Structures are given as C-alpha cells and as structure tokens.
Amino acid sequence: MTLLVAAASAVEPSCYSRLTNEWFCWQYVQDRQSELVDATVEHLQITLAAVLLGVVIAFPLALVARRLPRIEAGIVGAATAVYTIPSLALLPLLVPFTGLSMTTVVIGLGLYSLTILVRSMLEGLRSVPDDVRESARGLGYGPTRLLFRVELPLALPVIMAGLRVATVSTVALTTVGTIVSYGGLGNLISDGVLTNFRAELLTASVLCVLIAVVLDLLIVGAQWLVTPWTRGARS
C-alpha cells in the first residue's frame, strides 16, 4: 500500500493529486497553463462577441422605442421576456439553426444582454435635456447629426453604466455555454464539479472573476476617455 501511495505521488504533484486534492495549487496552474489559456481566450471571445451583438441589436430597438412610445412597452417587455427563458432551454432551441458551435452561445448571451442594454440606452437618450436638443436644432442640426453629435455623447454615462452591468453579467453567463461544449472557463468549472477537482474548480472561478474585473475597468477607462466633460463635474 505504501508503494502505491509513493508511486501515485511521483506521477502527480502532491497539491492536486487525488490523495490531497487541495483548493489552491500553483503547480496545477503551471502544468495546465495551455488548457487554462485556451479556455480563457474562448471565454473572452464569447463574452465580447455577445456584448457586441447585444449593442448592435439594442441600439436600434432603443431608438424605435423612443420614437414610437406606443410600442415602447412591447419592445422593453420582449427584451425582458427573453431573459426569463432558462439557458438550459434557450441554447438547445438555437442548436437546430446554429449547430453545436460558439455562435449558439454568442446569440443566446447577446439576447440575454438586451434586457439591460435596451433599458440603459433608452434611459440615456431620455436623460438629454430638451433645451439642449432645441438649441442644437436652432443651430441647424438635423436628426442624424443631433443624435450622434449631441444626444449620444450626453447619454454615454448612462449607456456605459448599463454596458458595464451587461458585460459583467455576460462573463458569468458565458459559463452556461458548457451545455453545448462552448463555455470557456465554464467547461473547466463543470469538470471540476463533476470530478471534485478542487484546484481546477477554484482556478477557473478566479479567472472568471478576473475577466469581469478587467473588462469592467476597461469600460470605465474608455468612458473616462470619451467623456472628458464629466471629469470636472465629478471633482
């Protein structure tokens, strides 16, 4: 029995071998570096693509909802209703059309993000004072120029706040992509749960948190750069 234990210890590092199964093991990070990097890159690709898809869909929906108040409740309600569909049901519903691919997860998460993005964009556009719009029109601004040169810049703080929430929540939701084998770090988390592999489970979870923090800081930094007029107001 002693020989078997010694042989097992020689094959696997002690901190994440089946004999010890510790939560934190730096040796695991070093030995599985390639696997962790691949999972992290996939997680980032899915998250960024899903958020971008959500922004592309949410922006015209917010514009239509603002222009046509009679259908605003329907647009906001539809965006909210999508979020109530469990991921265990939504992703399999998309599989017949997109297959077992990353596209399935991107579309599903993009639809989930509409709940936050449509509302934040709509509220951001509404936060622009009416007198500012009237002044811009008096200076000869047309609808398109008014939107992109006046309204959107002033609405950015509210829109970016919604984008931050949508991005962080998408980082967490990306893990459900493991249902179709495209969950990024979610694949490692699922494997860690099923096999009680503590080092794998904790490492993948910590990387998810780090991705969320880094993306949130990047958005805050981008907002700071594109809205210089808000810096003085905050100070």
Residues 218-228 pLDDT 10s: 999 988 888 77
Report the amino acid identity of residue 82. Answer: V
Q: What average pLDDT does this structure show over 73-88?
A: 87
Other CB atoms closer than 10 Å to residue 68's CB: what's the count? Answer: 11
Taking each helix axis from N to C terminus, what angle separates 102-126 and 87-98, rounded to the nearest 10 degrees?
A: 120
Q: How far apart are CA 227 and CA 220, in angstroms?
A: 11
Q: How far apart are CA 118 and CA 80, in angstroms?
A: 9
For residue 219, the model assigns a pLDDT of: 93
Q: What average pLDDT does this structure show over 84-101?
A: 84
**DSSP state letters, 87-152:** HHHHHHHHHHHH-SSHHHHHHHHHHHHHHHHHHHHHHHHHTS-HHHHHHHHHTT--HHHHIIIIIH
For residue 18, the model assigns a pLDDT of: 67
Q: How far apart are CA 64 and CA 61, in angstroms?
A: 5
pTM (two decimals) = 0.85
Q: Are 48 and 170 in contact (CB under 8 A)?
A: no
First and final C-alpha spacing in the chain: 69
For residue 1, the model assigns a pLDDT of: 44
3: pLDDT strictly greater than 70 = no
For residue 36, the model assigns a pLDDT of: 87
Q: Average model confidence (pLDDT) for the chain?
A: 84
Q: What average pLDDT does this structure show over 30-48?
A: 89
pLDDT tens digit sequence for 190-219: 887 888 878 888 888 899 999 999 999 999
Q: Which tokens hold the place of 85?
A: 């569909």
For residue 5, the model assigns a pLDDT of: 42
Q: How far apart are CA 16 and CA 3, in angstroms?
A: 19
If you classify domain 30-224 with CATH, what class do you get?
mainly alpha
Q: What angle do CA 86, 89, 95 make, to 5 degrees?
A: 135
53 vs 141 pLDDT, higher one: 53
Sorted by where each begins, the domain ranges of the chain are: 30-224
For residue 211, the model assigns a pLDDT of: 94
Total count of residues recorded for the chain: 235
7: pLDDT strictly greater than 50 = no
Q: What average pLDDT does this structure show over 146-167?
A: 88
